[in-house]
A and B are shown apart, each in its own frame.
Chain A
Amino acid sequence: MFQGMFALFHRALNVDFRLTRTHLFRFLFAVMILFSLMMAHTTSRFMAAAGLVFFTQIIYLNFVFIIMAGISFFATAITEEKEEQTIGLLLMAGVNPISLLLGKSLPRLVSALLLLSVQFPFTLLAITLGGVTFSQVISAYIALAVFLFFLSNLGLICSVVCARSRSASTLVVLSLAFYFFGIPLLKWILLVMVQQGWISAGSIINFYPKLILDWLSQFSVLSQINRILISGFSESPWNMQFWGNLIMGIILFFFACLLFNRFALTEISTSPGRGLIAKKKSHYFSPGRSWSNALIWKDYFFLNGGYGMAVIKLCCYGIALMALCIFVAYLSRSYSREEFALTVFWTMLVVLIIEISLISARVFHVEVQWNTMVSTAMLPQSMSKTAYSKVIGCLLSLVPVCFYLSIGFVLCIDEMLYDLGMVLSEPGFWMMFIEVLFFWHLTALLSTYIKWGALPLAFVLMWVGNMFFFFSASLITLGGGARAIESLYIVFTLAMFVGIVVSHFVIKERLIQLASR
Chain B
Amino acid sequence: MSTQPPMVEVKNLWVRYGKYEAVKGISFSIPKGEVFGFIGPNGAGKSSTIKVLATLQREYQCDTVKINGISLNKAPHLIREIIGYMPDFFGVYEDLTAREYLHFFAAAYRIDRKKRKAIVNDVLELTDLTGKIDAPVDSLSRGMKQRLALARVLLHDPDLLLLDEPASGLDPRARIEVRELLVALKEMGKTIIISSHILHELSQLCTSIGIIEAGEFVTQGSLDHIYKRLELSRVVHVQIVGEMNGVCENIEAMPGVKSVTVQADRLAIQLQEDQLAVEDLHAKLAATGVKIRMFQAEAMDMETVFMKLTEGKTA
Contact = CB atoms under 8 A, between A and B. Distances in A.
Given A290-B106, A380-B109, A516-B58, A269 B94 contact: yes
Contacts of A377: 56
Name which of B87, B109, B110, B149 has the most chain A CB atoms within 10 A of its CB. Answer: B87
Please classify the interface of chain A as helix (H, G, I), strand (E, B), loop, or mixed, using the class held by over half of its residues.
loop
A290 B103 contact: yes
Contact of B95 (A274, A292, A380, A512): A274
Contact of A512 (B58, B78, B89, B109): B58
A379 interface: yes
A297 B107 contact: yes
Nearest to A271: B94
A272 B95 contact: yes
B93 interface: yes
Interface string A245-282: 00000000000000000000000011111110110000
Nearest to B108: A294
Contacts, number: 94
B141 interface: no
A272 B138 CA distance: 10
A371 interface: yes
Interface string A361-389: 00000000011101101111110000000
B103 A289 contact: yes
A16 B30 CA distance: 48
Interface in B245-304: none
A273 B78 CA distance: 34
A275 B95 CA distance: 8
Contacts of A294: 103-108
Nearest to B56: A516
B74 interface: no
B136 interface: yes
A295 interface: yes
Size band of the B side of the interface?
A: 35 or more
B80 A379 contact: yes
A516 B85 CA distance: 12
B18 interface: no
Interface string A216-246: 0000000000000000000000000000000
Given A294-B104, A516-B57, A379 B109 contact: yes
Contacts of A375: 87, 90-92, 105, 149, 152
A308 interface: no
B173 interface: no
A375 to B, nearest CB: 6
Given A378-B54, A379-B109, A270 B94 contact: yes
A516 B54 CA distance: 9
Interface in B83-141: 85, 87, 89-96, 100, 103-110, 113, 116, 136-138
A292 B78 CA distance: 20
A294 B110 CA distance: 9
B81 A370 contact: no
B51 interface: yes
B138 A372 contact: no
Contacts of B106: 290, 294
Contacts of B93: 298, 302, 370, 372
Contacts of A290: 100, 103-104, 106-107, 116
Interface string A284-318: 00010111111101100011000000000000000
Name which of A287, A292, A293, A380 has the most chain B CB atoms within 10 A of its CB. Answer: A380
B77 interface: yes
A93 B109 CA distance: 47
A370 B58 contact: no
B56 A374 contact: yes
A327 to B, nearest CB: 37
A366 to B, nearest CB: 9
A356 interface: no
Interface string A476-517: 000000000000000000000000000000000000100110
Interface of A: 269-275, 277-278, 287, 289-295, 297-298, 302-303, 370-372, 374-375, 377-382, 512, 515-516
Given A274-B96, A294-B106, 11 more contacts: A290-B103, A290-B116, A291-B107, A298-B104, A302-B100, A370-B93, A375-B91, A379-B80, A379-B105, A380-B110, A382-B77
* Closest 3 pairs (CB-CB, A-B): A271-B94, A294-B107, A371-B91
21 contacts: A270-B94, A271-B94, A291-B107, A294-B104, A294-B106, A295-B108, A297-B104, A298-B96, A302-B95, A302-B96, A303-B95, A370-B93, A371-B89, A371-B91, A372-B90, A372-B93, A375-B149, A378-B55, A379-B108, A515-B56, A516-B51
